[in-house]
A and B are shown apart, each in its own frame.
Chain A
Amino acid sequence: MANKESYLGEFEHIILLTIMRLKDQAYGVTVRQQIKELIDRDVSIGALYATIDRLEKKSYIKARSGAPTPERGGRAKRYFTLTSTGVEALQQTKTSLDKLWSGLTLNSAVQ
């Protein structure tokens, strides 16, 4: 049964799905661009890294360093990938949301 620890917050959920979608090309810039393109949400770099830090602590994602590039001032990219715990958390959240949505239509919500 899902406990509070394994429950994903909305923004955590968004970031995990974006990282999953980007496969091995997920790093700060691409994650922000993808979120903007897909759901038109502007995410600040600070908010992104604060959440990524939390997801790493929960072992939902892991990071690896890329090669330094000149357009980044000689700094390396930090790529993120999902761990099996992260995939499990996503699956659990999806299952919970599917259960909550089952049998519901938005037309029936307004009485």
Chain B
Amino acid sequence: MKDLKPAQPPLFAEKILSLCIPNTIKDEILGDLEEEFNAHLIRFSNKKQARYNYWQQALMTLFQFIAIRSKDSLLSSNRQQIIVLILGFTIFIISLLLISWLSHLDGLGSFSQSMATALAQGNPHKALVQSQFWQISFTQIKYANNLAYFFQLEAFTWAVCSIFMISLLRKKQFTNKKYIRYLSLIIVFLPYTVGSIFLQFNHYPTPQVGLILAQMIFSVFYLTLPVTYFTFRNLSSRNNYE
């Protein structure tokens, strides 16, 4: 004979859901899900499938309410624009400081042991937690009057091609604007991420490491401001294609 006592649905899914859905409809949604979970168990006696259905509905409901919240209140278009501006300028300044810092030092011997290892492994962002970086880079940027320090051919070519491609996509009336925003973000950080992964698994002499690091950081440096501008404009003219 079947056990008619109601079973407990997946506790973790229930907890996550109860944290994320509005209080006004929490009981109704959790109640409906539990009722369906028990009905499925009674009808098919398949607990695995019942748990799978519960998780599926819970996750779909979760994403639904996260999407509604971010659309309605949490991140209004104006707030997103402000966040994009702040992030864009911060990343630009940090890449500028990294370039001026790295340009004025001779070889990996000029760095502390931990920093030299981080650079050799393709992690220049670790400089941000080094006091040496913050002490020196602001001083050096004042003397960075040689524009040649700010030119790197490969990264410049990548940046020009990327900006051209994004501009073309923006002109296409029916291109999804959210897609352009994600693509732009990927383009900015792609050389940095690929370079970082590449150096993690390969060991090269210092000059070659320097060249790869330059390509990584300069790509971010060249692309951050144009992409910030594109994203800012993109958010101000959101349309129904999203």
A residues contacting B by CB (< 8 A) are 27-29, 32, 44-47, 49-50, 53, 69-73, 75-78
19 A-B residue pairs with Cβ-Cβ distance under 8 Å, sorted by A, are: A28-B28, A32-B32, A44-B60, A45-B29, A45-B32, A45-B57, A46-B61, A46-B62, A46-B63, A47-B60, A49-B25, A49-B61, A71-B38, A71-B39, A72-B34, A73-B34, A76-B31, A78-B25, A78-B28
Q: Does B65 contact A (CB under 8 A)?
A: yes
Q: Once the chains bind, are A27 and B32 in contact (CB under 8 Å)?
A: yes
Q: Once the chains bind, are B64 and A72 in contact (CB under 8 Å)?
A: no
- Would you call the interface of chain A mostly helix, strand, loop, or mixed? helix
Q: Once the chains bind, are B32 and A44 in contact (CB under 8 Å)?
A: no
Q: Does B27 contact A (CB under 8 A)?
A: yes
B residues contacting A by CB (< 8 A) are 6, 9, 21, 25, 27-36, 38-39, 57, 60-65, 68
Q: Once the chains bind, are B35 and A71 in contact (CB under 8 Å)?
A: yes
Q: Once the chains bind, are B60 and A75 in contact (CB under 8 Å)?
A: no
Q: Once the chains bind, are B65 and A50 in contact (CB under 8 Å)?
A: yes
- Would you call the interface of chain B mostly helix, strand, loop, or mixed? helix
B61: chain A residues within 8 A (beta carbon): 44-46, 49
**Further 5 A-B residue pairs, CB within 8 A, beyond A46-B60, A49-B61:** A45-B60, A46-B64, A50-B65, A69-B35, A73-B6
**Contact A71:B34 (CB < 8 A) given known A44-B64, A46-B64:** yes
B39: chain A residues within 8 A (beta carbon): 29, 71
Minimum CB distance partner of B41 in chain A: A71
B60: chain A residues within 8 A (beta carbon): 44-47
Q: Once the chains bind, are A28 and B29 in contact (CB under 8 Å)?
A: yes
Q: Which one, A45, A47, A53, A78, contacts B33 given CB within 8 A?
A: A45
Q: Once the chains bind, are A77 and B31 in contact (CB under 8 Å)?
A: yes
CA distance A92 to B28 in the complex (A): 30
Q: Measured between C-beta atoms, what is the minimum distance from B122 to chain A in Å?
A: 41
CA distance A50 to B66 in the complex (A): 11
A27: chain B residues within 8 A (beta carbon): 28, 32
